[in-house]
Amino acid sequence: MQLTRQLQQLLARVQPRPAGVCLVAEQLPPYLRTRLVELGQPFVLPGRQLFWPSLDSVETVQRPQRTAPGPCRPWGRWRSSC
C-alpha cells in the first residue's frame, strides 16, 4: 500500500528517530480503515477511532442509536412535511 510506504519513508527521515508513525485524519473510508488494520498501521480519527497495535489500543466511539422517524404531518393542501 502506497500510504504505508510513504509513512515508513517519513519515519526514516525524522531525527531523532521516533518509535513509530501514526496517520491522523478527519475521515477515512471504511475500506481504507480495514486495510490499515490488516497492515497493522496505526491511525487516529479524532473523537471517533484509535487503532495503535503496538500500544495494544483499539478504541471506537459508537454512534448513538438512530431513532425511528415520527409520523408526517400535513403541510398545506397538497404536500406533507416528510
Please tell me the distance from the alpha carbon of residue 1 to that of residue 71, in angstroms, as a whole number: 48
Q: What is the pLDDT of residue 63?
A: 65
Radius of gyration of the chain from its Cα atoms, rounded to whole angstroms: 21
pLDDT at 65: 66
Could you tell me the mean pLDDT of each successive run of 10 residues in the chain, 82 residues long? Answer: 81 80 90 90 89 79 70 63 54
Q: Which helix (H) or strand (E) holds 27?
A: none
Q: Is the pTM of this model over 0.75?
A: no
Phi, psi (deg, nearest 5) at residue 12? -70, -25
Residue entry with cell 497493522: 40
Rounded to the nearest angstrom, the gap between the alpha carbon of residue 57 and the centroid of all alpha carbons in its chain is 14
The predicted structure's pLDDT at residue 34: 92
